[in-house]
Structure 1
Amino acid sequence: MSPPDRREAHVKRLLEGPYPAVPADLAAGAAARGDRLLRRRRTVRRIGWMLVFAALVAFVVWASLTHAWTAPSSEVSPPW
């Protein structure tokens, strides 16, 4: 037998044989872990949006205080 044939035979024996026992609380544990992951992702997403909103507010406040949209005055002449 070549190496792929041995592997295939081993897989066939595993699939034909008795299946391993699955822990009773496996589904409940997986559901709890999924809930934790979803909650964590939702929290991170909310924090990210709050940071974006805070940065936008800070920019608007800065721009309104410094009048960033106007050109600097040209009344000032250079010193002699």
Structure 2
Amino acid sequence: MSPPDRKEIQVRRILDAPPPAVPPQLYADAVRRGGRLLRRRRWTRRLTWFLLTAALLAFVIWVSVAQPWVEPPSETTPPLTGW
């Protein structure tokens, strides 16, 4: 037999065997862990939305106060000519 044939026989033997027994507490642990992951995702999503909203509000307030689109006043006076 060549090595691939031996490997195939081993795989078939594993697949033909009955599945291993699952520990009885595994389902409860999976449900508890899944619930914890869902709560953490929900909390992270809410925190992200809150931070995004706060950043947008801060930006809107800054824009309304600073008015960056308005040209700043000139700091020097033009020379007086023609007097």
**Band of TM-score, shorter chain:** 0.7 to 0.9
Alignment RMSD: 2.0
* Residue number in structure 2 paired with 1:26: 26
Q: 2: CA distance between counterparts of 1:44 and 1:69?
A: 35
Q: TM-score, normalised by structure 1?
A: 0.79
Q: TM-score, normalised by structure 2?
A: 0.77
User: Which region of structure 1 is more displaced relative to structure 2, 15-24 or 34-43?
Assistant: 15-24
* Residue number in structure 2 paired with 1:4: 4
Query: For residues 5-29 of structure 1, what are the alpha-carbon distances to aligned partners after superposition, in whole Å with 9 as ceiling and x for unaligned?
Result: 1121111111222331111122221
Q: 1: CA distance between counterparts of 2:5 and 2:43?
A: 50
- Residue 77 of structure 1 pairs with residue 73 of structure 2: no
User: Which region of structure 1 is more displaced relative to structure 2, 44-53 or 61-70?
Assistant: 61-70
Q: In the comparison of the two structures, how many residue pairs are matched?
A: 78
Question: Where does structure 1 lack aligned partners over 5 or more consecutive residues?
Answer: none
Structure 1 runs, 4 residues or longer, greater than 6 Å off: none
* Residue number in structure 2 paired with 1:49: 49
**Residue 61 (structure 1) shift:** 1.2
Q: Which entry has the higher C-alpha Rg, 1 or 2?
A: 2
